[in-house]
Amino acid sequence: QQVKSDGAIHLHTRSLKYGKLNNGVFLSVPASLIKRCKNHFHILPCGVHIILGNNGYIWLQSKRKVPEKKKSSKEEVKSKVKNITTPEEREKICRVRNSIVVLSKMSIAIYAETVMDVYKQSRELGLSARDILDPEMRQRVTQTAMQRQHVQKM
C-alpha cells in the first residue's frame, strides 16, 4: 500500500481472486458516471466478469476460474489460472463493452443493472455488438436504463 502526494492510495493485493488481469478489455469512462456501490466486482448474468473502478476505469473479461487451493508451486497455479477465451465469450465481452460506451455517451450512470439493461435491449432488438454503437440506435438501446435512472432519482 502506498499513499501518493496527490492523495491517491494504491492498494496491492496478493490473492489469486484479484490476480493478474488477462484475456479481457480495458476501457475508461468519466469517473462521475460510475455509481458507487458496496461491491464493484460483478459477474453479469451473461457470464462476463466486470470490475468498475471509482476512477472511471473498467475491466471486462470472461468469468474467471479461480484454481482450487492445493499445495503447489507458483508456476502450477499460474498455469491453472490461464483461460482461453472462446469466440462466443469475446462476443459477449464486446457487447458489454459497447453497452458501457453507449451509456457513457448518453451520460447514464454505469453499474451492473444499467449495463445489463442495454445488453438485453440490444439482444431483443437483434443488434450485433457493433450495431450498438450506431448513433441512431443509442436512444433505443438505452431506453430501459434511462427509465431505471429516472425512477431512482425520484
pLDDT > 70? residue 46: yes
Among candidates 100, 106, 117, which has minimal Cα distance to 45? 117
3-state SS assignment for residue 52: strand
pLDDT tens-digit series, residues 23-44: 889 999 999 999 888 888 889 9
- Judged by DSSP in three states, 18 sits in helix
The reported pLDDT for the residue numbered 78 is: 53
The three cell numbers of residue 126 are 437483434
Dist CA 108 CA 12 (whole Å): 31
pTM over 0.85: no
What are the start-end ranges of the E strands in 19-78?
24-28, 41-43, 48-52, 57-62
Within the chain, residue ranges assigned H as helices are 74-81, 87-105, 112-124, 135-141, 143-153
